């Protein structure tokens, strides 16, 4: 699995831990920056990861900023990207199961590296339920999200 990873300055250190864990899990990591703790603008890196996922260069993406919220907001502007800020395991699991989230956003000022890796594992290992019996409600809802994207992308 190919995972695009990006952070701002607040998430730079955690990005290193996440990239290392991904490599240990057998994933290929596309590091989209930043490359230091020098202050930078999170939208610049969130868009790189979101575009890599949308274009099929990466199977999924991981974003890291102070809270995870800002990066997720930017990524969700890219049609076809479904990003969620998940700073605990329940959200990571159920946004995959029900929402087919393809970009995980983490808050480096909220969670420790060990917890981030646990959340990351759930994000990678949890399948989307839309492919299972009874999962049609999730597919229907994703179709509605796509309709909203189309309506406002004009």
What's the pLDDT score for residue 85? 99
Catalytic residue set: 65, 98
Q: What is the pLDDT of residues 66-124, one digit of tens each?
A: 999 999 999 999 999 999 999 999 999 999 999 999 999 999 999 999 999 999 999 99
Contacts of 15 (CB under 8 A, 6+ apart): 5, 6, 7, 31, 64
Q: What is the pLDDT of residues 13-44, one digit of tens each?
A: 999 999 999 999 999 999 999 999 999 999 99
Is it the case that residue 135 has pLDDT exceeding 80?
no
Three-state SS for 86? coil
pLDDT-derived band at 151 (thresholds 50, 70, 90) equals very high
Three-state SS for 85? strand
Mean pLDDT, residues 123-141 taken together: 87
Domains and their CATH numbers in the chain:
2-129 (3.40.1400.10)
């Amino acid at each position: 699995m190919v995972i695009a990873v990006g952070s701002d300055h607040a998430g730079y250190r955690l990005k290193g831990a996440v990239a290392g864990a991904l490599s240990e899990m057998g994933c290929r990591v596309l590091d989209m920056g930043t490359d230091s703790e020098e202050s930078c603008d999170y939208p610049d890196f969130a868009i790189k990861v979101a575009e890599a996922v949308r274009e099929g260069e990466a199977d999924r993406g991981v974003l890291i900023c102070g809270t995870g919220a800002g990066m997720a907001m930017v990524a969700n502007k890219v049609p076809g990207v479904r990003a969620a800020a998940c700073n605990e395991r329940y959200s990571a699991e159920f946004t995959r199961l029900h929402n087919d989230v393809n970009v995980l956003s983490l808050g480096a000022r909220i969670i420790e590296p060990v917890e981030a890796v646990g959340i990351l594992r759930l994000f990678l290992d949890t399948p989307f339920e839309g492919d299972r019996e009874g999962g049609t409600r999730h597919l229907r809802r994703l179709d509605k999200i796509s309709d909203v994207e189309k309506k406002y992308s004009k």
